[in-house]
Amino acid sequence: MAGNDYTIAAVLKALRALKQFNSNRREMTLTELSNCCDMTKSSMLRILASLEAEDFVKYDEAARKYKLGIAIFHLGNTAFDFLDIKKTAQPILKRAASESRLLIHLAVLEDDEIVVIDKIWPSENLDMAALISYVGGSVPVHCTGVGKVLAAYADERQREILLDRCDFKVYTEKTIGSREQFLEELEQVRKTGAAFNDGEHEPYLRCITRPVYDGEGKVAAAVSLSGLKDVITDEKLEFYDGISRKTAAAVSRELGHHLR
């Protein structure tokens, strides 16, 4: 955790101002905010003007009071949507890890990044400890199963942002190294409803990934089963793919998506 040397006084003051709002104080005057934060009105006014410029607060001219803005609503929805998906999916993912004895990842598309929001270890096969992913971290879009699935089902604008910001770094001899090749891969993912990664990021791993749908029929996340190549063999691929399909469908149902 960063120490005090890395804190910015103005940011701390702005955050302190935002934290004064609660269910009992939904609207506050400049004077009330200044008193609560022990700041002069002129200093508080500059902070509020900055927050208002980014839609974190809104000023009601008639009431001459400030209230939280739409940006707070969007941030809250983003955070709690991810938490809700993780909470809902976790029991199902744990069952999948137990049944498959593979590592399970749950990831979402956040702006222009593929972010891992949960990682469930199996009770066995812990020799996958070298896997470099971690909860809260982002992973490459072009050489991971979750990246392929979330890019394949993203809307056109999101997909273009992902592709524009992807450097197509080659990690192994099997890594997709060009935009054109990756677009062909995404088309295949949409046709089959799954992505298969065969040592494209970590050369010793394979994974099977499928989309998770929400109640509106949109892809909300991607769930993957990962294991060593000598575990996910060609002979066992159908077995693991069945668990993958079942797991993604179960999480989707819990999120309100009823598959026909």
The CATH code of the domain at 78-254 is: 3.30.450.40
Q: If phi over 0 gives left and psi between -120 and 50 gives alpha, with beta otherwise, what is residue 168?
A: left
- 32: pLDDT strictly greater than 60: yes
The pLDDT tens digits of the residues spanning 108-156 come to 998 788 989 999 988 765 555 445 567 777 899 999 999 999 999 999 9
- Domain definitions of the chain by residue range: 4-68, 78-254
CATH class of 4-68: mainly alpha
pLDDT mean over 235-251: 96
Structure tokens at 201: 């990021």
Count Cβ atoms within 10 A of the Cβ of residue 223 and give its class: 0-12 exposed, 13-18 middle, 19 or more buried. Answer: buried
3-state DSSP assignment of residue 136? coil
- What's the pTM? 0.69
| pLDDT band, very low/low/confident/very high, at 250 (cuts 50, 70, 90) | very high
Q: Are 252 and 259 in contact (CB under 8 A)?
A: yes
The pLDDT tens digits of the residues spanning 187-237 come to 999 999 999 999 999 999 999 999 999 988 899 999 999 999 999 999 999
